[in-house]
């Protein structure tokens, strides 16, 4: 019984679990940000490509 009580009160791995949860939250937030920004980045590339194509056509 003493072993179980000591195991229950042991906080040695608590920091590791907290940092792991924090890293998981940061990874999920970053993934959501990248997925949300993907559409706007695609729009920027499309607009830039159209402008470069138009400039190339008028320069020829």
Look at residue 21 and tell me whether its pLDDT is greater than 90: yes
Look at residue 53 and tell me whether its pLDDT is greater than 70: yes
Q: Residue 28's pLDDT is what?
A: 95
Chain centre to alpha carbon of residue 53? 33
Look at residue 7 and tell me whether its pLDDT is greater than 70: no
Q: Residue 24's pLDDT is what?
A: 96
Mean pLDDT, rounded, for 23-46: 89
Q: Is 10 left (phi over 0), alpha (psi -120 to 50) or beta?
A: beta
């Amino acid at each position: 019984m003493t072993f179980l009580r000591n195991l229950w009160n042991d906080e040695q791995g608590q920091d590791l679990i907290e940092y792991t949860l924090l890293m998981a939250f940061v990874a999920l937030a970053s993934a959501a940000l990248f997925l949300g920004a993907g559409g706007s980045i695609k729009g920027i590339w499309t607009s830039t490509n159209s402008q470069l194509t138009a400039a190339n056509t008028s320069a020829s």
